[in-house]
Amino acid sequence: MEAGVHTVPVTPGVSDDSERSGARTSSGLDLLEPRPGGPAEWFASHFGPENPVRVFIVALLAGYALLVTAMVFLGFTMIYLILPIRGLGESDEDLSEWLAGHRSANQEHLSWIGSTLAGGLVIPVVIGICLLVFCLTRHWLLAAFVLFAVAVESGSYRATSLIVERQRPDVDRLESLPVDASYPSGHTAASIALYGGLLLLIASRIQNIGVRIAALVVGIAIPIFVAWARMYRGMHHLTDVGAGAFMGLAALVIIVFAARAARAATHERDRTA
């Protein structure tokens, strides 16, 4: 050993894990960090090790195709097989009629707020603000997470509603939209994909248990509020908003998996470099 030179013993694997753990803490990517040896790392190793962008895109496209297929299958099964059983479809319609028959001016205004919260005006504004903040702070994966979570949800809704036609509730509807696009509720799905996704990121970043519980409560409350608003306004049946909730959760699963796979490819690229 040369004079003045000191060496520090390194345990194999500890240094790498420590660096990755520190990166997660500093950048807030706990939710998006792949588990060692998990499915995201397996996917990255088969579809583009050392190429995060390709892995991310392939995972998104594969997830999107699976989600559309599942939603179409669920729609046809529900409409033509399940709802006709023992008047379940009539019960679905009865709930919509009951809500329409108990409307009030204040509740109509409240339902407008809930519907607008996940509508075509507010959602793009929220996405734009998030993209601006994440891009300025150079959190590229977080920006992609927010953008593509809604993109997967929106694309799945468009494809599904074009294939599966279902009439909206036979009540006085408070919005003018195509009457054969009741299934599924895109507003409910969007509220979960966007607001639920953002709150998941917050909960994964902040260690305070009170903040995490609050994020969980708000993340559940917003989709419920939006779902109620869509039914109250006569735009969807209960089963439609249920299907929309499933689609929104599935979109979150897809974007989380894609982000984790991209991170796995990034780690492999950095190790190789």
Each residue's pLDDT tens digit, 24-54: 443 444 788 898 889 999 999 988 777 899 9
> Could you read off the pLDDT of 149-160 as tens digits, one per residue?
999 999 999 999
Report the pLDDT value the prediction gives residue 211, as an integer from 0 to 100.
87
Locate the domains of the chain by residue range: 35-272
Report the pLDDT value the prediction gives residue 233, as an integer from 0 to 100.
97
Phi, psi for 236 (deg, rounded to 5):
-145, 155
Comparing 31-40, 62-71, 169-178, which segment has the lowest mean pLDDT? 31-40
Q: Please choose, from the candidates 152, 159, 183, the residue with its C-alpha nearest in 3D space to the C-alpha of residue 251.
A: 152
For residues 183 and 174, what is the distance between their CA atoms, to the nearest angstrom? 17
pLDDT reading at 14 higher than 50: no
> Could you read off the pLDDT of 226-255 as tens digits, one per residue?
999 999 999 999 999 999 999 999 999 999
- Average pLDDT value for the chain: 88
- In angstroms, how far is the first alpha carbon of the chain from the final one? 29
